[in-house]
Amino acid sequence: MTFIIQGIGAAKGISIGMVHIIDSGQVDIDEYTIPETRVDDEIQRLDEALSLARAQLRAIRAKTPSNFGADVTNFINVHLLMLEDTVLTQVPMDLIRERHCNAEWALKIQRDTVVGVFEAMDDPYLRTRKDDVDNVVNRVQWILQHVERSDQATAERHLEGKIVFADDLTPADAVLMRHQGVTGFLTAHGGPNSHAAILARSLRIPVVAGLHNARLYLRDGEEVIIDGRQGALLLEPTGEILAHYQQLQRFIAHHHNTRQRLRTLPTTSANGERIILQGNIELPADATAATEVHADGVGLYRTEFLFMNRDTPPDEEEQYATYRNVLEAMKGAPVTIRTLDLGADKQVDGGRPGAPLSANPALGLRAIRLCLQEVEIFRPQLRAILRAAVHGPVRIMLPMLSAMHEFHQVQEILGSCRQELEREGIAIGKDIPIGGMIEVPAAAVCADLFARELDFLSIGTNDLIQYTIAIDRVDDEVNYLYDPLHPAVLRLIQTTIRAGQRAGIPVAMCGEMAGDARYTRLLLGLGLKEFSVHPNALLEIKQVISESHIGKLKKFAARMMRTINTDNRMALLQAINANTSAALSS
């Protein structure tokens, strides 16, 4: 009889294979004090272990095939930076000198302090970053204790076709094991935000996370099935279940091949309508991922990421160079630069010094509101964008617009930046379209008024859903109410699309809903013609569009907007997606 253990589906896909269990390799730390005469030797021992850890990571990075994507090397680079940071190098050395503790103990004391800071954070994504600290510290502890690291231990093993079970995985483990042919990951801890999950999604390996007690039931070498869509681990599968999943695998593989064939073709629906499909990017390196899948440009460049994880904000010069790089990487395709969307869950290090605590940060001074208040942050960004526009087609997009006077204020500041640059004799781009994100219900309801003056609109469903249904998008306790299919959300989407059509300006969608294949046909039925999605999701969305006859989807969309019962909405969604590749995501 098949036995199912439910975890969290963290990366889609099906894998069937033998389990390979990796024990956590946690090392017991010896804690002891050393005599004054041995302090320098102990500091040197730690220094050598840190150097070796860095060398190991560099070796893994060098072995990473370039087609693994920017995510993978980014994670390894972050770990390398940590291994160079004084927080994990100098501070433990000072502890050895001051308290005469041994290297392992000093490292553990500092690890506990840093992890404590991460654990106190409200943001679930940032909380999981404590895993990085642990990954890095464990690596050094293993070296200090001469324990074989898991990435060295697995290097010689035959992992081809196997499914790996581990407590958690480091980015380095994931890269190495993918290289060795691992086809699936099971982890006792973690969830969709864990590094293993994020990496596996870019490596296209199914992951089921959060399988806390599964280790008790798993035997090394037994055959299992993992279903990354449903978050299920199936033990002792019967012949019938095995056949079902093998068929599902063939179906997925077939769709994957079809998608690869679509890569270089323009995005058109089954009835021949051209749809614009652009990429969302966070870092300049992501532009390469967007060009690899032949995106029609960048529909959302989240520039705030350039301001994070550093002590001082980037100046105009650095921003100009970065935007220019992105434009050059996109080779003439348009790049929509969203101005800074800081505040609420996206804080720069330490937030704004001296700023009062907001009781409702999501309703507070964030995005365009913050930029208009703190013009000294905003002006260098606008000047950098104007200068970068000489190197390719740029569009400026304003986040979280809720009133037209915000747009008018931006126009004024932009005009003065332009004049200033002209006076300084610096070349700037001309005719730069300015659009607004529709992510506040007020803007969606008044989209017709906004569309009279803005050059384009882009629907940010992540925020639009949170503000429409009044649920904090990062609050786990109310997450069950986060519903893209809520008729109120759909009505606001349709109002916005229609306002754009009447005004003759483009309307895109760049929130996560645009990149979720389950909703593609519904959105086409609502009249959406431009999607901006994570490059990883682009081909899947393209395939669904190519299978869709838009005329036939309109009546489904109209019915969905009238359906208040959740179960009925899910049934309707299944009916819209029946017999298409979108059904695979449902």
Strand partners, 223: 18
- Is residue 297 involved in binding ligand PEP (CB under 6 A)? no
Provide the 8-state DSSP code for 274. B
Binding footprint of Mg ion, residue count (CB under 5 A): 3
Give strand ranges (E) for 512-570: 530-533
CB of 256 to ligand PEP, least distance (A): 27
Of 13 and 460, the one with the shorter C-beta distance to ligand PEP is 460
Q: Is 530 in the site for ligand PEP (CB under 6 A)?
A: no
* Residue 192 in the binding site for ligand PEP (CB under 6 A): no
Work out whether 463 is an interface residue with ligand PEP (CB under 6 A). yes
If one asks whether residue 154 binds ligand PEP (CB under 6 A), the answer comes out as: no
Q: Give dist(CA 195, CA 71) in Å, integer.
A: 10
**Cα 350 to chain center, whole Å?**
22
Nearer to Mg ion, 184 or 343 (CB): 343
| Alpha carbons 392 and 346: distance in angstroms, whole number | 28
Tell me if 461 contacts ligand PEP by CB under 6 A.
Answer: yes
Strands (E), 350-464: 394-398, 434-438, 456-459
Stretch of 301-309, 350-358, 454-462, 490-498 lying at the interface with Mg ion (CB under 5 A): 454-462
By CB under 6 A, tell whether 460 contacts ligand PEP.
yes
Residue 516 in the binding site for ligand PEP (CB under 6 A)? no
Sheet with 223-227: strands ordered across: 3-6, 232-235, 223-227, 14-22, 163-166, 184-187, 207-209, 8-11
Smallest gap, in angstroms, from Cβ of residue 460 to ligand PEP? 3
- Told to check if 297 binds Mg ion by CB under 5 A, we report no
Choose the one of ligand PEP, Mg ion, none that binds residue 206, judging by a C-beta under 5 to 8 angstroms depending on kind: none
Instruction: Work out the burial of residue 35: count CB atoms within 10 Å of its CB; fewer than 13 is exposed, 13-18 middle, 19 or more buried.
Output: exposed
Residue 267 token pair: 């995005």
**By C-beta, is 257 or 309 nearer to ligand PEP?**
309
Whose Cβ is closer to Mg ion: residue 198's or residue 340's?
340
- Binding-site size for ligand PEP (CB under 6 A) equals 10
Active site residues: 195, 510
- Confirm or reject binding of residue 341 to ligand PEP (CB under 6 A): yes
Report CA-CA distances (Å) from 486 to 440, 541, 554, 559, 568. 15, 21, 17, 12, 12
**Distance between CA atoms of 28 and 208, rounded to whole angstroms?**
28
Sign of the torsion angle spanned by Cα atoms 320, 326, 332, 333:
negative
* Choices 93-101, 270-278, 324-332, 460-468; region in contact with ligand PEP by CB under 6 A: 460-468
439 binds ligand PEP per the rule CB under 6 A: yes
Diameter of the chain measured on Cα atoms: 82
Site string for ligand PEP, 241-280 (x = CB under 6 A): ----------------------------------------
- List the structure tokens of 199: 């990496």
* Chain residues in the site for ligand PEP (CB under 6 A): 300, 302, 341, 439, 460-463, 510-511
